[in-house]
Structure 1
Amino acid sequence: MKTNVGTVDRVLRIVAGLVLILLAVTGTIGIWGWIGILPLATGVFRFCPAYPLLGINTCSINRKD
């Protein structure tokens, strides 16, 4: 699996995911906040399954994992 999520994209995904999960845990936004697991996972694993379908790659250096 090639990485396709760059550094800035990765940080934004992780922060957004954590914020959504935190808001869900505190009950601020309800159950929909658990969708934050998706951006968190794609940021941690540096791979977004939608990117190859859309022809997007924000990673400047492709490496094989």
Structure 2
Amino acid sequence: MDRPRNVGGADRVLRGVLGVWLSVVAVAAYLDDRRVTALVSAVAGAGLLQNAATGFCGCNAALGIDTTTDADDE
């Protein structure tokens, strides 16, 4: 199923950067034996990276938010 994109531009870049940062936090928390922090950070980071990679966010869809523009489709 091909979902329409609703994440684009600066929003997509920001989600990618935050996703990577949260993944680093998850590894650091895991190494520091903070399992709950590691799990929460890893799940949030993976979700943001998925949004950045696919250009689709389920929460945006539910709220009717679309940050794409016609220039993003080129």
TM-score clears 0.5: yes
Identify the residue that residue 22 of structure 2 maps to in structure 1: 20
1:43 matched to 2:58: no
Give the whole-Å Cα distance in 2 for the aligned partners of 1:60 and 1:10: 12
1:32 matched to 2:34: no
Give the whole-Å Cα distance in 1 for the aligned partners of 2:57 and 2:39: 23
Deviation, structure 1 residue 30: 2.9
Q: List, as ranges, runs of 4+ consecutive aligned residues in structure 1 with deviation greater than 3 Å.
A: none
Deviation, structure 1 residue 38: 0.5
Give the whole-Å Cα distance in 2 for the aligned partners of 1:32 and 1:5: 23
Give the whole-Å Cα distance in 1 for the aligned partners of 2:19 and 2:12: 11
Deviation, structure 1 residue 53: 1.2
1:53 matched to 2:62: yes
- Tell me, which stretches of 5 or more residues in structure 1 are unaligned? none
TM-score, length-scaled by structure 1: 0.83
How many pairs were matched up?
A: 63
**Matched residue type, 1:4:** N
Larger Rg, first or second structure (1 or 2): 2
Task: Tell me the percent identity.
Answer: 33
